Amino acid sequence: MTVKALIPVRTVNLVAPLAYKATAMHTTETAAHAHCTSGAATTLIGASLRGGSVSSAIGTPLTPGIATSTTATRTTTTRATKARLSPSADPHLFHQLVQAYLDCRRTKRNSASALAFEAQAEHNLLQLHDELASGTYQPGQSVCFVITHPRAREVWAAQFRDRIVHHLLYNQIAPRFHARFTADSCACIPGRGTLYAAKRLEHQVRSITRNWSQPAHYLKCDLANFFVSIDKAVLLEQLQRQVTEAWWMELATLVLMHDPRHDVRVHGSKAELALVPAHKSLFNAPDGHGLPIGNLSSQFFANVLLNDLDQFAKHQLRAPHYVRYVDDFVLLHQSPQWLNAARQRIEAKLTVLHLQINPRKTVLQPVARGIDFVGQVIKPWQRTTRRKTLRTAMDRLTDMPTEDLHQAGNSYFGLLRQATHSHHDRARLAKLLLQRGHAVKADMTKIYPQRKSA
C-alpha cells in the first residue's frame, strides 16, 4: 500500500524555555505539560514509531504507520511486519530531550561544541532522538586534558551531544534518588553546593557544642583515589534497585559502563600529563573501574554509590552529626574514642563498596581548632575562607591580564562573600583591584570594568 502525506511546515523554538522553569526537579512535570499543550504524541516502542508519529516538537499526531520528514511530500510503503521486542522508550522522549538540551547549554552555550550543535539544533536533536529510540546510540569521543589548579588532575570532557544524554538521564532518574538521600549529602544535588555543606556543618557544630559552650571532637576523612577506584559493578547494582524502567536502565548502563579510554583525544603535552600521579590517572585504572571527572553523570553516580555510606552512618552508627561532600565527610561527637571506633566500622563498610579511606588525610581533633571543609574554616563564632584559597586568589589577580580581571575579580568576591567573616579578606582583594585600576563597590562585593580610553 502506498500513501502520500502532506507535511506542514515545521518550526521548533529551541530558544524559548518549556512550560515550566528548567530545573531537574521539574523535568517530569515539564515534559508532561508540554506534551498535553502541544498535542504531540511520540510513542516509541523499540526501533519503531507507533500510534502517533510526530514530525516535530510542536505538531499534531499523524496517521499510524506513516513516517514523515522535512520534505513537502514523500511516498512511504507500509509493511505488515512486527516490531522488534525491545524495551519501550518514554512516550515523551523528544520533549525530555529538548529540555535536556536547554539544561546542557545553559552554562556551555559559548563553547565550540555547543555552537556547532546549535547551528543545526533541530536536525541534531532529531538525529539523537532517533538513535536513542532505535537503540543505536553510542557515546562518542571524549577529550582529556589536565588542570593544575588547585592540584594536577585529569578532566574528561564528553561531546556536547553526549552531555545532552547525560542531562536526559539525570533529569529522569535523579529525583527518585534525591528523595532517598539524607539531608547531609551534598554536591550535585539542587540547592546543596559548597555553601550548603559549610552551613550544614556549622549548624551541627553549634548543636553538639551547645553554641560553642561545650567541648567536642570531629573526625574528617577523605576517600583514597575516589573516582578512579569506583567499581562500576557495585554501582550498577545500586542503580538497579531504583531504576525499574527497562529502557532507562539500559541507557543508565550504557552511560555508566562506557569506557572513554577507548576513544579519546588528549589535549596537552606529555609533561602536563606527567603531573598527574599514576594512581590518580583514569588511564591506569583496572577494567570496570573508574569514572571520568568532568561529566554530570559521574558526579551523580558518585552520590548514588556513597548513599550506602550515608545510610550506614545515620542508621547503623547512629551518628547524629555527619556531613558529606562528594568523597569528604565529617563526623562530630563528644568522645574521640567513639569517633575512632566509628572510623573502624566505616572502613569495614567501605570494603564492601571496594573503597578505602586515605590515612594521610584523616584528621581527629577538637572542633575548637577549626574544621577545614569545602574551602572554608569553621571556628568558634566565625566561618572564614581557607587561607590558601585567598593567597591563590591574590597571586592570580596580581599577574592576570587586564581583560580577564573584571570577571575573575567578581568571581573571587562572590566566593569570599560566602564566609560569615570575610570583611578583612575582601578589603585585601579590593585594595589589589584598586591598584590595578578598577573601581570597587563601597561594600566590597563587586568591581566595575575599566573605561576604555577615547
Instruction: For 233-275, write each residue's pLDDT tens digit.
Output: 999 999 999 999 999 999 999 999 999 999 999 998 888 889 9
Residue 209 CB coordination number (10 Å): 18
Kindly indicate the confidence band of residue 148, based on its pLDDT and cuts at 50, 70 and 90: confident
Mean pLDDT calculated for residue range 123-147: 94
Q: Is there a contact between 419 and 384 (Cβ–Cβ < 8 Å)?
A: yes
- The confidence score (pLDDT) of residue 308 equals 96
pLDDT tops 60 at residue 41: no
Give the C-alpha separation, 81 to 78, whole Å: 9
pLDDT tops 60 at residue 395: yes
The separation between CA 396 and the C-alpha centre of its own chain, rounded to angstroms, equals 27
Q: 377: which residues sit within 8 A by CB, 6+ positions away?
A: 370, 371, 383, 384, 385, 386, 387
Residue 93 CB coordination number (10 Å): 20
Which is nearest to 44 in space by CA: 132, 127, 121, 125? Answer: 132
